[in-house]
Amino acid sequence: MKRSAILILTICLLGSMDIQAQTVLDGAYIKEHTRTKKVVPYPSVREADVMWAKRIWQVIDLREKINLPLYYPLKDLSDRKNLFDVIRYGLEDGSITAYSTGPLGSDDEFKQPLFKDEIDAMMSTIDTTYTTDLVTGELVEVIQQIDIESSDVKRYKLKEDWYFDRQRSERYVRIIGIAPMIEVRGEDGEFRGYRDLFWLYFPECRYVFANWDIFNRSNDAERRSYEDYFWKRQFNSYVVKESNVYDRNIAEYTSGIDHLLESERIKKEIFEFEHDLWDF
């Protein structure tokens, strides 16, 4: 009786060890295409071949349906992260460098790299509030740590160069930088707008973006990366600034519907420039 009990216990222990040792494949096959993907290098461009160029700044609003793949999933999955979590992973890994927006929050020229402790302080802030003690009726100081979550980033700003290469007779667009944008609220919690959190040099980000999948609405079998998403320009955006003599944003001289109309005018101007170069 005692021997049989020991034998049964031994079998159970061996069975549990086998269960813990085995690897479960969540799917019909191993998804390894994106993880081993290499970045396609940009075509070389000579300054002498650039006959026209314009620098513009655009904003991607993640509340638009077409841009939702950049916002979701809010919690990491085994094979997917949202864009801000991918950026956070690259910053922690050291493969992406973040640059300060300057004292006024308008510097986008990648002048001042941020150290890891500066990024950590930016991602997590200490907020001090005062509340009334229900017993004594006195004001009590409450210190709260507020962490920036991926759900807090609802916009991204792009810095782009549009140019026409006469050697290839084609108009190109090159993303120079990308900046996550978070909401700015007053002391009363009132919404005041958005601000750039930091700037990232996009050619450096490509090596991280190329190895992370983004959701493909049409086909789960087609592994599409964030690099593919930006390369194929599958997002929707609107212009907030173009290079000008005053170095001012569109919001500084327009408002409301006029802002969107000015944005569309700039897009139309770029399209018509390339269109008018050809004779049909």
| Phi and psi angles of residue 242, each rounded to the nearest 5 degrees, phi first | -130, 160
pLDDT score of 194: 92
- Per residue in 168-193, pLDDT tens? 888 999 999 999 999 888 777 788 88
Give the pLDDT confidence of 216-268 residue by residue, as tens digits. 888 888 878 999 999 999 999 999 999 999 999 999 999 889 999 999 999 99
Q: How far lies 17's CA from each of 9, 11, 98, 109, in Å? A: 12, 10, 45, 56
- The whole-number pLDDT of residue 54 equals 96
What pLDDT was estimated at residue 5? 54
- Confidence at residue 20, expressed as pLDDT on a 0 to 100 scale: 52
Residue 149, C-beta contacts closer than 8 angstroms, at least 6 positions apart: 74
Band (pLDDT 50/70/90 cuts) for residue 55 is: very high
- Tell how strand 199-201 and strand 191-196 pair up: unpaired
Residue with tokens 């979701």: 72
- Going from the C-alpha of 250 to that of each of 176, 264, 265, the distances in angstroms are 20, 12, 11
| 3-class SS of residue 150 | helix
Q: Which two tokens stand for residue 21?
A: 């040792």
pTM of the model: 0.84
Q: How confident is the model at residue 51 (pLDDT cuts 50, 70, 90)?
A: very high
Separation of alpha carbons 249 and 241, rounded Å:
5
Q: pLDDT (tens digit, 9 = 90+) per residue, 97-121? A: 999 999 988 999 999 999 999 999 8
Per-residue confidence (pLDDT) for residue 129, from 0 to 100: 73
Residue 173, both tokens: 């667009």
Mean pLDDT within 119-127: 83
pLDDT tier at 28, thresholds 50, 70, 90 = confident
- Contact 75/197 with Cβ under 8 angstroms? no
